[in-house]
Structures are given as structure tokens and as C-alpha cells.
Structure 1
Amino acid sequence: MKQVLLDLQSGSIQVENVPVPTTTRGAVVQNAYSLISAGTESSLINLAQQSLVGKAKARPDDVKKVLQKIGTDGPLPAYQQAMGRLSKPEPLGYSCAGTVVSTGADDFEVGDRVACGGAGHAVHAEYVSVPRNLCVKIPDGVSFQEAAFTTVGSIAMHGVRNARVTVGESVAVIGLGLIGLLSVQVLKAAGCRVIGIDIDREKLALAESLGADIVSNYDGLAERVKAFSPFGADAVIITAATRSSAPIEAAGRLVRSQGRVVVVGNVGMDVPRDVFYEKEAEVVVSRSYGPGRYDRNYEEKGVDYPIYVRWTERRNMEAFLELVRQKRIDLNPLITHTFPLEAAPEAYNLINTGKERFIGVLLEYSPNGAGAAGTVTHLPEPAARRRAVPAGARTLGCIGAGVHALSALYPNLPGLPVNLAGLATATGLSAQTVAKKYGFSYCTTDYRKILEDPEIDAVMITTRNDLHAPMAIEALHAGKDVFVEKPLATDIDGLRRVVAAQNETGHRVRVGFNRRHSPLALRMKAFFGNRSTPAVLHYRVNAGQIPPEHWVHDDEQGGGMLISECCHFIDFMQYITGARPVQVYARAIEPTGNLQKYDNFQATLTFDDGSLGTVTYTTLGDRSYSKEMVEVFCGNAVGRITDFRDLELRRDGKVSRERRWLAQEKGFAEELQAFVKGEEPDLVGNVATTLATFAAWESIDTGVPREIDLGRVGL
């Protein structure tokens, strides 16, 4: 299928062929029309067109993160990660309408006409995959062209709701672009008196034709508003887009005492305190298109709010479409341009240059589609990407291409002696971009295409945590050797089934415990190789806060940091000692504020050779301090690794030190080499590590030590 993409390095608009998406919790929709958001999308394009210095000035928080990564990981990984993010095209669009072609939700049937919303979902593409709460049926009598405005219409609806207006009240709308003109009509449908304000005479005339009671530019505005409503406007809705604070300053002058100002547009927010203080006026920033926005449970999982949360995203979308059906909102005068999908660059050029006046710009999709409709896209192999691969080399298929995979694993693919066959990701854009970059033969949004490929004998799984065990099991039964990122499983049942699948098939499973493959770890292990006493180990992790809404905290998808991250450090202790963990006692800080229950903890492990290991994991430290430090004490000797850049070995007063200046040595390349060469993995150790994290969780919950029993999973 064809999709509109933004090159984040150059700012150019491209129409590329990518695989059709799939869905499990919503609907796959064949688009008929999508609406270009001139404000939101132009801002992103303008940022992409800036130089690296310009991008840095516009995103100081991102620069801070890069500098912190340089301090802990080294300049090379920081540069690679930053450039890797810029090399991945950005999907554009968030409002569209079309026909359901497949469904994973009971709300929809194939053939339903639907309107769709949501950045990253309702994009400019021939086919889109949209979660159920961001997709609504189109009433009879409403065209696809009109329905394509639904998301933007719901933004206007939510702004009006935030104004809390009632029948007969007077409302000023500052900024008569698309959302402003929609707001005027929503307000009139709600029985309000409306004054439309803009500097553009044509927009003023259009607002008046759409129902505004009076319109005005800023000349003589105060007098007009006073004549319109002697006490001032009951509410002011700002839908303008400007860095200037002039709109909010004007709103303060126009609103009545104890009135409300609602900021919908992206405007300067230098609020004149004296003006608002004297009137005791309220300022509200309207957040997109209703409750549910930015809530993963609502948007991605389809978990609806109770009806007392009356106007959610989806309900606002439905209400807007009903107003269109009732002819209370007229969208036809707002459609100024329609371009075929292939002419999307021309449409954006029109918006960016302003060579013609525009309001609503639609992209139109051919009923038969301009690109292939399959979930697999075969890629040409330019000479520049051809790789010399030894005869008899393994053929690798990859599933997943998230941030970790792109920054730590995939950059090592060119150095592996393998044939790169297929890459599967949840979205067609991600699959196409990464596959093209690294020279895969094809990309797909259906991971089973990888498992069904008879040429592929090795599979790398780097999806979200909850999919690791099920996909590894499927891959084993499909006759593949498996490299799966940690954790191996997020619950005991999944771990048990992985062990059973490995026993049944005899194929290898290697877990992405990379730190044991680091050259620094190899030297530390050799240093303690002839020890005659147990060891005492301490692994301290200064992780930094991860936002509570991040998927890793999700009980279903991530399992929390204890399950997701602590396994690394327990595995490292196993590697250094050569012993298995047999017991764990763990305590955690109770959750408060943004602190998650299993994010700040200490776990003390006993190993079967008598060694003791403690993992201290915290999100409470300063990110500028070292992230990881492991110390080993044994036989009158000490070993220390800091951030896998510094190694110190000390015995009998003699000290040996190594320092890596450009980058960490965390063992990513080495673990992948071991996998593709068919080296025997330590699956029993991997299972013991995973069981130890489950036991640590149980220990925190019960307050007592827990045994680590391999018999629980059939070993």
C-alpha cells in the first residue's frame, strides 16, 4: 500500500510502498479520504526542515537526554541513537474515513463505513489500523469527505465543552482557521451567540456565512464586543496558532468577570496576571479531543470509561458526526482542495508556501488502491546494500523493531555472517524503513510470514515483553532456532511452555542477556576463575525515572522493571560465579506519586556455591551519575565494572584498569555472533534467572524469602 511519510532529516514528503497493517483490537480500514492538519503537520515539517542545530534549539529536552547518554554510554552510541531516530520517517495524519476490511473488535463488521482518529493510527495511507475507541461508524447521509473531518471536529467539540457554555451565552472565537470555523458552528448548534475574530477578511466573511452573529478584526474589537455583550463574553475560545501571546491578552480584555478562557490552539501563554486577576477569570488549556487522550488503556487496549465520563474521545467523535448528519455543521465550504494520494507532496507544498488560500485540504484514495494490498512487501536490493555472506550461512528473520532493537541490536546486523530474509513489525512504516536500511529481502506486518518462510532457520524476537514467550514457542514449533530479547517470559505459565517447546523440538533458545558477552565481563570472569571461596557481588543500577504511562509498567505488556530489567543483573551474577541462584529475598519501596511498586528495590540472592549477590535498582538517582556498577569481592581480590566502559581489577595491591572512551562494551555484537554461529546457549541458566525475578516479586509481596525451584517449570 501507499503511505505518506516525512523524512525527519530533510523535511521532504514522500509517498512510499509499505505493508498493509494488521489489527487485534480494532479495525483495518481502507481509506477513502484523509484530512491534512495544516497546523500540527506543518509544525512537524518545519522542524524536520531545520538544520541539526535548529532541531537542537527547538528540542532542548532531547539534547539534554543525548548529553546524558554521552556521559554514561559514550559519544558513539549517543550519536547512533540520535541519528537512528532521525533516519526513521514519521507518519503524517490523524483524521480519516473509509471502509472496514478486517476487524478484531465486536463493534465493527467488514463493510462498515467509519471515521478514524489518532496520530500514528489514522494516518495518510491506503489502509490504516485503528483501535476500537478511535474509530466510529459514519451515520447514513454523511459522506466520506465530511467524515474525514471527524477528529478535528472533536477537537473543536472538546474546546466548546471546556468552555462550559449554556444556551444563550455569548462566546468569542479568536482565530478562524479550520478548528475556529468548526467551533463557531458547534457553538451555534449549542444555542450560543458567537463573535468570530480574525485578521483575515475572507475568514471573517466565511465565519459569518457559517452562522457567527458578528465578526471582527482587532480594530475596534472592544467596542464591538461591548455592543454585542455589555458585560463581556461569557467565554473566549482561542483557536489561533501563533507564538505571540496577543490572543490570550485579547481574551483577557474580552472575557467577562469570572468568565472562562479556553486555549485550543498552540499560542503564546504569557498571561497578563493583572487583567485576569481583576476579573477572576479562569484559563483552561484544552487537551486534544477529550478524555482518553494519551491513556494507553483507552486508546490502545480499547478499555472505555464509564458513562459518567460523558464526553470521551470516541463520544465526541460520534457527537460531531451526528451534528453533521443533522446539517447543523456544514463542511462543504471548508473543503478548499482535494489531492490524490500520489500528489501529497504537492498538497503539503501548497500549505507550506501559502501560494493559494486554503482551509480544509483532503487526500483522496483510489477505490482500487494505488499500491499492493498485501501484508508483505518485497524490497529491491541496491548494489550498495549487497553483503558478502559465506556459503552455508544461516538465514535470519526478525520480528520487532523497537527503540532497543534499533539502537543496540540492528546496527550489528551488517557484521553478521547471515542472509537477512524477512522483517516483521506491527506497523508497515517501521517494517519498510528498517528492512530497507539493513537490506532485508522483504518486510511484513504479519510475523507468521517469518515463521512460515522455509528459507529462514533462525529468528530474532525483539517485541514487547508479553509477546516474547508466545512467539518463541511458535518459532520453535516452526522449526527455527530462536534469539529472544529478555525477559524470556513475564509469568510462570509462559516460562513453563517455553521450556516444554524447547524440549519437544530440540531447537536452541538464546535469551538476550548481553552483558555476559561483554569483553569486560569475560576478563572479570577470568580474573576470578581460580577462586576457592564463594563470592560477594553487588550490582547497583541508577536507572532514572521511566514515565508511569510507558508500556514497560503495564502488567500485561511489560511486567514492570523487576521482570523486565532485573533479569540482566541476576544473569550476570550467574555468569561470573558459574553458579545457580537458589533463593531470593527482596524488598521494595511502596508506590507513591509516580513511583511504581517494583521500580525501587533490593534483591539478595543465594547461589548454590554459597555466593551472595545483591541487586540494588533505583529510579531515584541523578541521571548524570553512572547508571550501572557491579562489584565482585572474592579471595582477597576486587573487580568492578562501571557502565561497561570502565574495568578495574585489584589483587594484592596491584591494580589493572581498562577504559573505553567512545562507547560501552555491553556484548550486543558478541551475543548475536554466538547465536548465528549456533553456539549452545545456557537455557537452564536463563530459566533460573527468569524464575529468580518471579521469586523476587513474590518475596516483595509476601515479605519472606522465596526458593528458586527449576522443577516448577519442568527442569
Structure 2
Amino acid sequence: MVKQHKIRVGVIGTGIGSYHIRAYQKLPEVEVVAVVDLDSKRAKQIAEEYGIAHSFSDYRKLLDLKQIDAVSVCTPNFLHAEITVAALQAGKDVLCEKPMAMNTQEAEMMVKAARQTGRKLMMAFCRRFQNDSQWLKKYIEAGELGEIYYAKTGWLRRRGIPGLGGWFTTKAKSGGGPLIDLGVHMLDLVLWLMGNPRAVSASGSTYAKFTDLYPLEKGTLDVEDLACALVRLETGATVFLETSWVSNISGDRVYSSLFGTKGGADFPPLKIYTEKHGKLVDLEPRLPEISGYDGEVAHFVECILQDKEPTATAEQGLEITRILDAIYESAETGKEVLLR
């Protein structure tokens, strides 16, 4: 059933959640009516800054508001499953930040809750919604790259550990380091561009070589600082993934490369490599920049208004979580992990 009134939204978590708030408030068909942060003073400050009626330090109070149609879950990773399941059971549609969950078991609980309640559960894979990604997806679906049989992707930081000593660097609360933080984005992006084939195996390595550079008086640093993996897909294609928070390189790198039988692509910036009329041709599409946060939020709202399924599904989030778990298991055991 298509909704006729404004979509009333609550945002749980005000870190990355601030990006969600700004994206929602660009849409005339949406009203952000409540915000949650464990720090009640920060919740109130954000509410005042963005003109939001209600602020809470307990997400349950937000879910008790009958007028709320949907929520963004933008909390630390260890709270994603708990809050998402509670929101779905409270009759709210959910946009959940990445990673979907701490592990496969939690992700399965979230998918089950979405199916049982009939509510929408969309994953906030924002890199899918950038303009270069959207254009390249259409280009691939038109058959311009042919069969994509290999992909390389990575997000490497020279120095860039988020929230050192806090939940980000505490495995019990984050699930891992740059693999689950940055790698989740890049893995999802290339798999989506390749048509979301299922993974059949993963072989990975993780390294924690820079812990001594960051002595902590309090807090925890017990996650990897670099991870790499080789993921084999049911189509016979292969994906190579690398990601780091700390590495001795010239500078930060974010990249994806697709190898197809008719053409290839590198991005960002987006470049296409192909052959036309017997000549090698390089194409550089001129595309305006579009915020991935704006794009994902607009799509989520469109799905609610038009009662359609999101393109970034909970099932796809579950598949990415299975792969991440397999990479961590492979790194721990030193063996390839079979997924099917």
C-alpha cells in the first residue's frame, strides 16, 4: 500500500547518524521526529541543532512513539542486531548502517525478524549510491563489460584508526578492524556490480603490526590493522580485497577494478577500458558527484512510499557478513573456508 502522509523517521545514533539526518531533511516527504544517543546531552544538542521534536538516551522510548514509520540504526556494531530486531518488531521499517551485524548468527536473526514482521530492512551500503557506481551499474547491465571474471578492490589508509581505544578498536564491540569497517563497503560494492553472485570460498590474512605505535592508558586495541582476502564466487569469478587502518604507503587509497570480457573499469575516478572498431578506447564519463548518504536515504524513503523492496537487501547484507566471517576464520586457521 502506497503511503499518503509524510514519512516520520527516527535516527538512533548521532555519529554517522548525523549524515542520515541531513539526508532525510533534504526530502520534503520526510520529517525527522526523534533522535537517540546514549549521551542525553548530545541527543538534546543534535535535536536542537536540526529542529527535531524528541530526543532520548534510550532507543526503546523512540520505538514507543506510534507516529514513527521508520528508523535509521546508526549505533556501534554490537547494537545493530538488538535494535534492528526491536524496531522491526515495533512495526518500523529499518535502514541499518554497515556492517549489518557482528557475525552471521546476528545477521540471520535480523533477516528472520524482517520476514516475520513484513517490514522493510535495507542495508546502508552508501557507496552503491554514488553517481559513478550508479552509472557503472547501468553500463554493466547493458552488457558493455561482458562477463566480469575478476575484481580487485581496496580501502587502504596510511594512518587512520577510528575511535582509538573505544568500541571501534574493541573486537567484542566492533567484530573486527578495517575488514569489517572499510572492507565491508568495498566487498559489497564489487559484488553488487557483478550481480551479487554467491561466494563459495574465502581465504584471508589479517595483521596487527602497529599496536606498539599506539600505547593506551585506557581502552582496548585488539583488532587487525590490515586484512586481505581472495573470495571465489559461484560464477567462477574471483574477488581480491585489501583494507587497512595503518600501513606504510604513500597515502590513502580507495579503489575498485573490474575485469570483463568486453571491457574493464577503474574507479574512482571512473574510467572504462574497451575496444571499438579494432582500436583500444578509454572512456572517462563526466558525472556530477552525488552523496552516497543522500542517495541511500532517498532510495529507502522511495521504497517506503511506493511499497517496494530496497535494492540493498537484508539477504545481501547477510551474504556479506558470511564472507567476512569466513575471511576472519581463514586468517585464524590458515586455511581456505568453504561457504557452500
- The answer, yes or no, to whether TM exceeds 0.5 is yes
Q: For 1:460 and 1:476, how far apart are their aligned partners in 2? A: 11
Matched, 1:452 2:77: no
1:625 to 248, 251, 266: 251
Deviation string, structure 1 residues 564-607 (Cα, Å, up to 9, x no partner): 33211111122110022222111123545348653212111112
1:557 to 163, 173, 184: 173
Question: Deviation of residue 464 (structure 1)?
Answer: 0.8
Q: For 2:12 and 2:105, how far apart are their aligned partners in 1? A: 22
- Are the structure 2 counterparts of residues 419 and 563 from structure 1 closer, same or farther at C-alpha, using a change threshold of 3 Å? same
Report the counterpart of residue 283 of structure 2 in structure 1.
656
- Are the structure 2 counterparts of residues 607 and 617 from structure 1 closer, same or farther at C-alpha, using a change threshold of 3 Å? same
Report the counterpart of residue 486 of structure 1 in structure 2.
98
Q: Indicate conservation of the 8 Å contact 1:638/1:651, yes or no.
A: yes
Which secondary structure state, in structure 1, belongs to the residue aligned with residue 211 of structure 2? Answer: coil
Aligned length: 313
Which secondary structure state, in structure 2, belongs to the residue aligned with residue 560 of structure 1? Answer: coil
2:161 to 538, 546, 550: 546
- Are the structure 2 counterparts of residues 666 and 700 from structure 1 closer, same or farther at C-alpha, using a change threshold of 3 Å? farther
Gaps of 5+ in 1: 1-389, 710-715
Deviation string, structure 1 residues 484-531 (Cα, Å, up to 9, x no partner): 111111023312221221121111111111111111012222232215
Matched, 1:392 2:5: yes
Which residue type is aligned with residue 657 of structure 1? E
Q: For 1:528 and 1:493, how far apart are their aligned partners in 2? A: 33
Question: Deviation of residue 666 (structure 1)?
Answer: 5.0
Question: Deviation of residue 413 (structure 1)?
Answer: 2.4
Deviation string, structure 1 residues 319-365 (Cα, Å, up to 9, x no partner): xxxxxxxxxxxxxxxxxxxxxxxxxxxxxxxxxxxxxxxxxxxxxxx
Q: For 1:686 and 1:493, how far apart are their aligned partners in 2? A: 12
Question: Deviation of residue 636 (structure 1)?
Answer: 4.1
Question: Deviation of residue 532 (structure 1)?
Answer: 4.1
Matched, 1:690 2:304: no
Q: Indicate conservation of the 8 Å contact 1:588/1:600, yes or no.
A: yes
Which secondary structure state, in structure 1, belongs to the residue aligned with residue 315 of structure 2? Answer: helix
Report the counterpart of residue 187 of structure 2 in structure 1.
570
Q: For 2:228 and 2:172, how far apart are their aligned partners in 1? A: 23
Which secondary structure state, in structure 2, belongs to the residue aligned with residue 677 of structure 1? Answer: helix
* TM-score (normalizing by structure 1): 0.42
Gaps of 5+ in 2: 214-221
Q: For 1:521 and 1:691, how far apart are their aligned partners in 2? A: 24
Question: Deviation of residue 431 (structure 1)?
Answer: 1.0
Report the counterpart of residue 234 of structure 2 in structure 1.
608
Which secondary structure state, in structure 2, belongs to the residue aligned with residue 598 of structure 1? Answer: coil
* TM-score (normalizing by structure 2): 0.85
Matched, 1:704 2:335: yes
1:469 to 81, 84, 99: 81
1:674 to 281, 286, 299: 299
Q: Indicate conservation of the 8 Å contact 1:577/1:611, yes or no.
A: no
Which secondary structure state, in structure 2, belongs to the residue aligned with residue 401 of structure 1? Answer: coil
Q: Indicate conservation of the 8 Å contact 1:484/1:510, yes or no.
A: yes
Which residue type is aligned with residue 415 of structure 1? K
Deviation string, structure 1 residues 126-157 (Cα, Å, up to 9, x no partner): xxxxxxxxxxxxxxxxxxxxxxxxxxxxxxxx
Report the counterpart of residue 218 of structure 2 in structure 1.
none
Which secondary structure state, in structure 2, belongs to the residue aligned with residue 565 of structure 1? Answer: helix
Question: Deviation of residue 391 (structure 1)?
Answer: 5.2
Which secondary structure state, in structure 1, belongs to the residue aligned with residue 58 of structure 2? Answer: coil
Which secondary structure state, in structure 1, belongs to the residue aligned with residue 241 of structure 2? Answer: strand
Which residue type is aligned with residue 589 of structure 1? Y
Q: For 2:228 and 2:286, how far apart are their aligned partners in 1? A: 28
Deviation string, structure 1 residues 383-413 (Cα, Å, up to 9, x no partner): xxxxxxx9512111111101x333x333212
Q: Indicate conservation of the 8 Å contact 2:24/2:298, yes or no.
A: no
Which secondary structure state, in structure 2, belongs to the residue aligned with residue 528 of structure 1? Answer: helix
- Are the structure 2 counterparts of residues 465 and 566 from structure 1 closer, same or farther at C-alpha, using a change threshold of 3 Å? same
Report the counterpart of residue 87 of structure 1 in structure 2.
none
Q: Indicate conservation of the 8 Å contact 2:264/2:272, yes or no.
A: yes
Q: Indicate conservation of the 8 Å contact 1:580/1:685, yes or no.
A: no
Report the counterpart of residue 161 of structure 1 in structure 2.
none
Report the counterpart of residue 130 of structure 2 in structure 1.
518
Q: Indicate conservation of the 8 Å contact 1:688/1:708, yes or no.
A: no
1:583 to 201, 208, 211: 201
- Are the structure 2 counterparts of residues 621 and 397 from structure 1 closer, same or farther at C-alpha, using a change threshold of 3 Å? same
Task: Please give the residue correspondences for 1:252-263 in structure 2 after superposition, counting only pairs within 5 Å.
Answer: none
Which secondary structure state, in structure 2, belongs to the residue aligned with residue 487 of structure 1? Answer: coil
Q: Indicate conservation of the 8 Å contact 2:24/2:31, yes or no.
A: no
Question: Deviation of residue 619 (structure 1)?
Answer: 3.3
If asked which structure has higher relative contact order (CA below 8 Å, sep 6+), I would say 2
Question: Deviation of residue 702 (structure 1)?
Answer: 0.9
Q: For 1:479 and 1:600, how far apart are their aligned partners in 2? A: 39
Q: For 2:49 and 2:96, how far apart are their aligned partners in 1? A: 22
Task: Please give the residue correspondences for 1:588-599 in structure 2 after superposition, counting only pairs within 5 Å.
Answer: 588-591=206-209, 593-594=211-212, 597-599=223-225
Q: Indicate conservation of the 8 Å contact 1:591/1:597, yes or no.
A: no
1:507 to 111, 116, 119: 119
Which secondary structure state, in structure 1, belongs to the residue aligned with residue 171 of structure 2? Answer: coil
Q: Indicate conservation of the 8 Å contact 2:17/2:72, yes or no.
A: no
Task: Please give the residue correspondences for 1:216-615 in structure 2 after superposition, counting only pairs within 5 Å.
Answer: 392-402=5-15, 404-406=16-18, 408-416=19-27, 417-529=29-141, 530=143, 531-543=145-157, 544-546=159-161, 548-561=164-177, 562-578=179-195, 579-591=197-209, 593-594=211-212, 597-615=223-241
Task: Please give the residue correspondences for 1:73-88 in structure 2 after superposition, counting only pairs within 5 Å.
Answer: none
Question: Deviation of residue 623 (structure 1)?
Answer: 8.0
Q: For 1:460 and 1:418, how far apart are their aligned partners in 2? A: 13
- Are the structure 2 counterparts of residues 457 and 648 from structure 1 closer, same or farther at C-alpha, using a change threshold of 3 Å? same
Which secondary structure state, in structure 1, belongs to the residue aligned with residue 174 of structure 2? Answer: coil
Larger deviation: 467-476 or 502-511? 502-511
Question: Deviation of residue 626 (structure 1)?
Answer: 4.2
Q: For 2:24 and 2:257, how far apart are their aligned partners in 1? A: 32
Q: For 1:619 and 1:477, how far apart are their aligned partners in 2? A: 36
Q: Indicate conservation of the 8 Å contact 2:108/2:318, yes or no.
A: no
Task: Please give the residue correspondences for 1:25-40 in structure 2 after superposition, counting only pairs within 5 Å.
Answer: none
- From the CA coordinates, give the structure whose radius of gyration is larger: 1
